[in-house]
Structure 1
Amino acid sequence: MKPPHIHRPKLDLHSVTVQTVIELAIGSVLIVALMRWVES
């Protein structure tokens, strides 16, 4: 009974971390694109 309880939080934490990294990457790309658009 114990293993599933120990295993789930790691999977959830991993998926949240991946989602955060993807959001940060998209955000940084948008910021760079916006700065280049303002400069031109």
Structure 2
Amino acid sequence: MKKVASEPIGQRYKATEALFIYVAVDKDGKPRPIPTLA
């Protein structure tokens, strides 16, 4: 994901960048496998 900002005169530049990692957790908060899609 990246945020792109624009100034009033129309110039665009990259303002920030992020990487998100999602982890499935069980009821105890431990990582668990994710079921595969059929």
* TM-score normalised by the chain length of structure 1: 0.23
Q: Which has the higher contact order (CA 8 A, sep 6+)?
A: 2
Structure with max Cα Rg: 2
| Structure that is richer in strand per residue | 2
| Structure that is richer in helix per residue | 1
* TM-score normalised by the chain length of structure 2: 0.23
